[in-house]
Amino acid sequence: MLIGFSVSNYKSFREPQHISLLASKVTRHKDHVALAGNRKILKGGLIFGANASGKSNLIEAAGLSREIILYGLDKVNLEKKYFRIEKEMYGRPGVFEYRIAVNGMEYSYGLAISYMEREILSEWLVRMETNGKEIYIFNREIDEKGISHVSTEAFHKKTDESMRMKVYLEDFDQNISDAFRKKTILSDLADRGKEPAGIFAEIAEVQKWFKRMIILFPNSKYKRINELASNENTREVFSNLISFFDTGIESVEGQQQELSHGNLEELFEYEDESDGTRRLFDLLPLFYESKDESVILIDEIDRSLHTKVTRQFLELFYALKREKKCQIIATTHDSNLLDLDLVRQDEIWFVERQEDHSSRVYSLNKFRARFDKKIDKEYLLGRYGAIPVFHEELHLEGMYEE
């Protein structure tokens, strides 16, 4: 499960900004909390903010870092990804860090990248022991001379496994090649280790956690619609879900994803449907495709959806994933979702643009809002910030004069 994520020097995020999924002492919606080891972790998070506040950049930061982690720097576009308001930030590292729980263990994994050199400057995987001790499974740093230094604290005596680790890490040590400067140790060791147990299996489980991440943007399209239509079980589940949300679609028919609106002699196609219905086509597979412990991030979950549909989607997610350790984190403009009958206080986050055009992330919890508060009205009145601020005067005189 995701415990926390932080980012700095990425688009609108200049200084480190952090979102935490650790549950506070809030007592409502206990089914929105899952246990991972001795941690109580939230199963959801809603991120609010004005247009251009940086909400989407938070999801994009997770998306970019995931691609780097799994596939390497040469597979991503770093062009203009740093905090461009200040030119000197081009020469400073972009940093992405995750705090995660995997198989009852807690880890800190992160990396720092150079936008200028297009290389990984630093990478670490730390196991957090229950006694408070931190074990560096691996750690890499590139010094000012461009020399890479790699170390591990995972072994205290020589074994076949420790010797293999030493050999693999040598590829990232000292004067490493350009290819290894752009790939992560995490995925390299996970792909080469191939062990059912031990340190390499542990590293592979962390890599799998990132592989299970699901990230959806407003323009994301569900790519397995043909497979859905050809499988009787998933077709039936999807038909029930799409009908439940009052789209007018009663069923998905045949293998060509044709849609019945009550007349089997006159079927409709995907292109015939509204933007809102198409958005549901992209979102609904999450109910049956997400794994037991997947993390789902959605940018603009409310895009093209009626507020009641978005709310029902979230309520259904919590209900269907009650016994699972799935998490859903979404950005939204829909202030109607600021309802403590729907989510907990600690599940609500805000992103606000500062005077220097950087983004600041903070939790509703800092305001100590009571559970009986009308959070949506307080938000629109500016109580929590993160709303549009218009210029006091807009001069329209002469705008339409010839």
Is it the case that residue 155 has pLDDT exceeding 90?
A: no
- Give pLDDT, residue 21: 97
- Give pLDDT, residue 312: 96
Closest C-alpha among 3, 42, 51, 63 to residue 348: 42
Is it the case that residue 111 has pLDDT exceeding 70?
A: yes
Distance CA 311, CA 334 (A): 10
Span of 63-77, 191-205, 219-233, 347-361 with lowest mean pLDDT: 219-233
Q: Is 170 exposed, middle or buried (0-12, 13-18, 19+ CB in 10 A)?
A: exposed
- Give pLDDT, residue 79: 96
- Section 176-188 average pLDDT: 95
What is the number of alpha carbons within 13 Å of residue 297 lying toward its C-beta?
22
SS3 content of the chain, % helix, strand, coil (to 5): 35, 25, 40
* SS3 at position 227: helix
Contacts 24+ apart (CB under 8 A), 109-113: 109/69, 109/186, 109/206, 111/65, 111/68, 111/69, 111/184, 113/68, 113/73, 113/78
**Is the separation of the CB atoms in 374 and 366 below 8 Å?**
no
Q: How confident is the model at residue 235 (pLDDT cuts 50, 70, 90)?
A: confident
- Give pLDDT, residue 238: 84
Q: Which residues touch 401 (CB under 8 Å, ≥6 apart)?
A: none
- Give pLDDT, residue 379: 77
Distance CA 385, CA 380 (A): 9
Span of 26-35, 166-175, 207-216, 375-384 with lowest mean pLDDT: 375-384
Q: How confident is the model at residue 257 (pLDDT cuts 50, 70, 90)?
A: low
Q: How do residues 123-150 score in pLDDT, each as one tens digit?
A: 999 999 988 899 999 999 999 899 999 9
Q: Name the packing angle between helices 232-244 and 275-283 (round to 10°).
A: 130
- Section 223-243 average pLDDT: 80
Q: How do residues 50-93 score in pLDDT, each as one tens digit?
A: 999 999 999 999 999 999 999 999 999 999 999 999 999 999 99
- Give pLDDT, residue 333: 92
State the DSSP code for 250.
-
Which token pair is 73?
């720097």
- Give pLDDT, residue 72: 97
- Give pLDDT, residue 139: 97
Closest C-alpha among 109, 311, 299, 132 to residue 214: 299
CA 224, distance to chain mean position in Å, is 21
The Cα-based distances of 314 to 245, 266, 307 in angstroms read 12, 33, 11
* SS3 at position 74: helix
Is it the case that residue 370 has pLDDT exceeding 80?
A: no
| Residues facing residue 350 across a β-bridge | 48, 362
Residues of the chain with pLDDT > 70, as a percent, come to 90
Q: How confident is the model at residue 398 (pLDDT cuts 50, 70, 90)?
A: low
- Give pLDDT, residue 121: 97
The alpha-helical segments, DSSP class H, found in 171-306 are 178-181, 185-193, 199-212, 225-230, 232-244, 275-283, 286-289
Q: Is 395 exposed, middle or buried (0-12, 13-18, 19+ CB in 10 A)?
A: exposed
Which token pair is 331?
């950005």
Q: How do residues 317-339 score in pLDDT, each as one tens digit?
A: 999 999 899 999 999 999 999 99
| Residues facing residue 69 across a β-bridge | none
Is it the case that residue 372 has pLDDT exceeding 60?
A: no
Closest C-alpha among 390, 382, 369, 368 to residue 335: 382
- Section 299-320 average pLDDT: 94
Q: How do residues 90-110 score in pLDDT, each as one tens digit?
A: 999 999 999 999 999 999 999
Is-above-0.75 flag for pTM?
A: yes
CA 247, distance to chain mean position in Å, is 28
Q: How confident is the model at residue 230 (pLDDT cuts 50, 70, 90)?
A: confident
**Is the separation of the CB atoms in 55 and 348 below 8 Å?**
no
Q: How confident is the model at residue 390 (pLDDT cuts 50, 70, 90)?
A: low
Output the average pLDDT for the chain: 89
- Give pLDDT, residue 380: 77
Span of 15-19, 160-164, 251-255, 394-398 with lowest mean pLDDT: 394-398
